[in-house]
Amino acid sequence: MQGLPQHLAVIMDGNGRWARARALPRQFGHRRGSEKLYEFSKWCVSHGVRYLTVYAFSTENWQRSEEEVKALLNLLPQFLDKHEAELKAERIRVKLFGDLSRLEPKLRQRVEALIADSREFDRLDLNICFSYGARDELVRTIRKLAASGQDLSQIDENSLSLALDSAGIPDPDLLIRTGGELRLSNFLLWQLAYTELYFTDKLWPDFTEADLIEAFNDYKKRQRRFGRR
C-alpha cells in the first residue's frame, strides 16, 4: 500500500452539464466550478497534498462561443477577487501554466503579481492551467530553448522537463477526471507518463470531499512500477 498522492492533477469536467440539468446558462456551472476549486484546494491542504494542478481553460476552449470564452476568462479575476487574500493566508503558492501571452495585459499583470507574492509559500502549490494545452506547452518550450541559444541536439528528458511550465515540480501521482469522459484532452501529456488515472461520472460542481477520499483509497491500492517489474 502506498500513501496519498503528493501531486494531484484534476480535469474539472461537467460544469456545462451541471448547469443544463438545472436549466441554467453554462456560465453558472463554471462559476459553481470555480467555487468548488477553492473548496477542493482546502481539502487538499487538509489531506497533505503538496501540489495540485488543475485544468481550468484549455487552448481548445478559445474556440467556444464568444460569450462562453468571455465567461471562462472572467473566472480567474473573479476567483482572485474572492479568494486571493484567503489563498495567501493559507500559504498557498499559485502558478499559472499556459500561454499567458494570450491574456489581456491587466489580467496577466495581476496573476504575475500573485505568482511573485506567493513564491515563498509552501503549504500547497496550486497550479492553474489556463490557456493551456500540453502540445502547445511542448512547442512553446522548445521554441524558448531555441531562442535562448541552446543546442537542441543536446536536449534530454531532464533538460526538457526543467524548461516546461511545470519546471521543478514532480510529475503528478494521480489524475482525477470528473464528468464521465475517459480521455486526457491535451492535459499534461508529458508529465502524466506514469500517473495513475481515476475517472468518475460525478460532475465537477457535485464533487465532494467523500469523493476525493474514495479516489485516494483507490489510489492507495494501486501498484506503481514505473515500467519496472
Q: Which residues are catalytic?
A: 13, 61
Q: Rounded to the nearest 10 degrees, how much is the dihedral formed by the CA atoms of 103, 109, 112, 114?
A: -120
In three-state secondary structure terms, 136 is helix
Of the ranges 13-21, 86-94, 114-122, 159-167, which one interacts with ligand FPP (CB under 6 A)? 13-21
Distance CA 73, CA 67 (A): 10
Window 175 to 204, contacts with ligand FPP (CB under 6 A) = 179, 204
Binding to ligand FPP, residues 60-89 (CB under 6 A): 61, 75-76, 79
How many other C-beta atoms lie within 10 A of the C-beta of residue 128? 21
Site for ligand FPP (CB under 6 A): which residue of 9, 56, 174, 175?
A: 56
Q: Give the x/- contact pattern for ligand FPP in 113-152, rule: CB under 6 A.
A: ---------------x------------------------
**164: which 3 cell numbers?**
516546461
Residue ranges of alpha helices (H) inside 118-199 are 134-147, 157-161
Shortest reach from residue 119's CB to ligand FPP, in Å:
19
Interface pick for ligand FPP out of 12, 111, 169, 175 (rule CB under 6 A): 12
**Options 14, 98, 133, 172; binder of ligand FPP; rule CB under 6 A:** 14
Q: Between vectors from CA 126 to CA 64 and to CA 6, what angle results, nearest 5°?
A: 120
Orientation angle between helical segments 66-89 and 105-117, nearest 10 degrees: 20
Binding site for ligand FPP (CB under 6 A): 12-17, 30, 33-34, 37, 56, 61, 75-76, 79, 128, 179, 204
